[in-house]
């Protein structure tokens, strides 16, 4: 069965790739992922705080920047032991031991300082770079225009810095989501990953403290990814990697039918182990065989909203169907 897929201009043997997470900081684990059928791996992110900390340490600047304020010392201490040198050595080792593409990742929310570090990913031998743009409009003073401007600045500057293919990993916090996603895809990048996942916040009522909620997705989280993949895949001028809520081979098939170029998995590997990749791959192949498809291109995007179709009407139709059928 031919599951070959071209993603970010790179040939993959499978559209199922492992998203950035703790498991992709471990080269032995990544070798297991390749054996289990992963088409590529996105390495655990380097965080902007790590880069800023490294710059300060090496230039002996101690004052935190405005971006970090009082939380800087906490963040710096938290990430300090995870040195960038070790990270880039890990990428080099992954490149030596894997035959599948290795995609570097930066988690960032501002555009200063860290851009020069993108070059280091290139030097370490990464095949592409995914930028996890964790820009959330938390401040009452932040406007939609501020967020959009930051995206534009980061993407433009980065494109000038490196020749690697670039994918932008976005969240769902855009006021005009379809327009923004399309505009990002027009900026000369090679891919958009939809969606990243902000850490969910919970409250411990006994301790009366804030704490993190579960970091894993729920299977129902797929539906938001599926909706936006179907809406956007025919409107973007770059590849689309669908991420969040993928737990089964059927989920992979659905996202490909909606027009995804690749499908990323993370939570299901934490829950079921790396061998899950084999189950997803076999399930995809079995479905293709049953349906008589000899390549993914034969069905990719079959159920995407067409460019000449009014997206709002397509979504309204689904809405009406749902509410008309439920009494």
Beta bridge partners of residue 6, listed in sequence order: 11
In the bound complex, what is the minimum distance in angstroms from residue 208's beta carbon to ligand FMN?
26
- Considering only CA atoms, which of 263, 257, 265 is closest in space to residue 297? 257
Q: Is the separation of the CB atoms in 305 and 234 below 8 Å?
A: yes
Rg (CA), the chain: 20
CB nearer to ligand FMN: give 215 or 319: 215
CB nearer to ligand FMN: give 265 or 296: 265
Concatenate the DSSP letters of all residues of 155-208 into one string.
HHHHHHH--S-EEEEE-S--TTHHHHHHHHHTSS-SEEEE---PPPEEEETTTT
Residues 6+ apart with CB under 8 A from 218: 245
In the bound complex, what is the minimum distance in angstroms from residue 117's beta carbon to ligand FMN?
15
In the bound complex, what is the minimum distance in angstroms from residue 168's beta carbon to ligand FMN?
11
CB nearer to ligand FMN: give 5 or 293: 5
Buried b (16+ CB within 10 A) or exposed e, 62-91: eebeeebeeebeebbeebeeeeeeebbebb
Structure tokens given for 223: 């539906």
CB nearer to ligand FMN: give 132 or 293: 132
In the bound complex, what is the minimum distance in angstroms from residue 292's beta carbon to ligand FMN?
29
- The H or E element spanning position 323 is helix 311-325
Residue 103 to residues 20, 25, 234, 264, 311: CA-CA distances in angstroms?
9, 12, 24, 12, 32
In the bound complex, what is the minimum distance in angstroms from residue 289's beta carbon to ligand FMN?
25
CB nearer to ligand FMN: give 231 or 268: 268
Q: What does residue 31 show for φ and ψ, rounded to 5 degrees?
A: -65, -40
Is the bond preceding residue 127 a cis peptide, omega within 30 degrees? no
CB nearer to ligand FMN: give 82 or 93: 82
In the bound complex, what is the minimum distance in angstroms from residue 195's beta carbon to ligand FMN?
7
Binding site for ligand FMN (CB under 6 A): 19-22, 44-45, 105, 107, 132, 169, 196-197, 215-217, 221, 243-246, 265-267, 270
CB nearer to ligand FMN: give 12 or 293: 12
In the bound complex, what is the minimum distance in angstroms from residue 116's beta carbon to ligand FMN?
20
Looking up tokens 């070798």 gives 31
Give residue 290's Cα distance to chain centre: 30
In the bound complex, what is the minimum distance in angstroms from residue 93's beta carbon to ligand FMN?
18
Structure tokens given for 26: 């471990």
């Amino acid at each position: 069965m031919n599951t070959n897929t071209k993603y970010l201009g790179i040939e993959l043997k499978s559209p199922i790739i492992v998203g950035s997470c703790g498991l992709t900081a471990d080269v032995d684990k990544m070798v297991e992922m390749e054996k289990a059928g992963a088409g590529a791996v996105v390495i655990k992110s380097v965080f902007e705080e790590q880069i800023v900390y490294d710059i300060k340490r090496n230039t002996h600047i101690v004052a935190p920047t405005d971006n970090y304020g009082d939380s800087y010392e906490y963040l710096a201490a938290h990430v300090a032991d995870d040195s960038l040198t070790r990270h880039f050595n890990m990428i080099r080792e992954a490149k030596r031991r894997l035959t599948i593409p290795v995609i570097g990742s930066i988690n960032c929310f501002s555009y200063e300082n860290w851009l020069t570090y993108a070059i280091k990913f290139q030097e370490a031998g990464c095949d592409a770079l995914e930028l996890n743009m964790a820009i959330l409009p938390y401040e009452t003073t932040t406007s939609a225009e501020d967020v959009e401007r930051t995206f534009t600045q980061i993407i433009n500057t980065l494109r000038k810095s490196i020749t690697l293919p670039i994918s932008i990993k976005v969240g769902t916090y855009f006021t005009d989501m379809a327009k923004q996603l399309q505009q990002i895809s027009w900026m000369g990048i090679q891919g958009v990953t939809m969606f990243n996942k902000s850490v969910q916040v919970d409250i411990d009522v006994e301790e009366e403290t804030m704490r993190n909620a579960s970091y894993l997705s729920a299977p129902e989280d797929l539906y938001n990814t599926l909706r936006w993949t179907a809406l956007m895949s025919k409107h973007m001028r770059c590849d689309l990697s669908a991420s969040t809520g993928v737990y089964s081979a059927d989920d992979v098939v659905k996202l490909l039918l909606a027009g995804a170029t690749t499908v990323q998995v993370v939570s299901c590997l934490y829950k079921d182990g790396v061998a899950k990749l084999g189950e997803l791959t076999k399930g995809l192949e079995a479905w293709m065989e049953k349906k008589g498809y000899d390549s993914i291109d034969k069905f990719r995007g079959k159920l995407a909203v067409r460019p000449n179709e009014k997206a709002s009407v397509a979504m309204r139709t689904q809405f009406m169907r749902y509410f008309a059928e439920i009494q």
